[in-house]
């Protein structure tokens, strides 16, 4: 079993819908990344968080350290949000760390 599990694996939504992608992990972490990979392949870091909640535009990321769970929400989804969303957890810190990735959630937003 992977240390980082994401759900769902695939998600199809209609434009305007509220999207939630979940990430659960089984190890102690120092921080968690949400990444976005577009169909062209490039990867962009959306959020890094170690507690609470962060918001950027229509994207919101939350993390509950005690429950070892994080969610990525997209409000008013748009076809340009279609991408693979990847959760990655960071164990350790400084230059001595390990980054473990989930397998990603493929989001398709239809117009």
Partner 1 sequence: DTAVSQTPKYLVTQMGNDKSIKCEQNLGHDTMYWYKQDSKKFLKIMFSYNNKELIINETVPNRFSPKSPDKAHLNLHINSLELGDSAVYFCASSLTGASWNSPLHFGNGTRLTVT
Residue 92's DSSP bridge partners are 97
Binding residues for partner 1, rule: CB under 8 A, are 30-31, 33, 35, 37, 40-45, 48-50, 84, 86, 88, 90, 93-99, 101, 103-104
Nearer to partner 1, 76 or 99 (CB): 99
**Smallest gap from residue 46 Cβ to partner 1 (A):** 9
**Smallest gap from residue 89 Cβ to partner 1 (A):** 10
Residues 71 and 8: their CA atoms lie apart, in Å, by 11
Q: Please tell me whether residue 79 adopts helix, strand or coil conformation.
A: helix
> Is the CB of residue 105 less than 8 Å from the CB of residue 85?
yes
What is the chain's alpha carbon radius of gyration, rounded to the nearest angstrom? Answer: 14
Nearer to partner 1, 14 or 51 (CB): 51
């Amino acid at each position: 079993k992977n240390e980082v599990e994401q759900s769902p694996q695939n998600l199809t939504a209609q434009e305007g819908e509220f999207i939630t992608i979940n990430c659960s992990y089984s190890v102690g972490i120092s921080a968690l990344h949400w990444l976005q990979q577009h169909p062209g392949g490039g990867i962009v870091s959306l959020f890094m968080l170690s507690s609470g909640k962060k918001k950027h535009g229509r994207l919101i990321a939350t993390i509950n350290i005690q429950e070892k769970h994080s969610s990525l929400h997209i409000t008013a989804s748009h076809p340009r949000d279609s991408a693979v969303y990847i959760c990655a957890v960071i164990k350790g810190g400084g230059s001595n760390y390990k980054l473990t990735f989930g397998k990603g959630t493929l989001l398709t937003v239809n117009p």
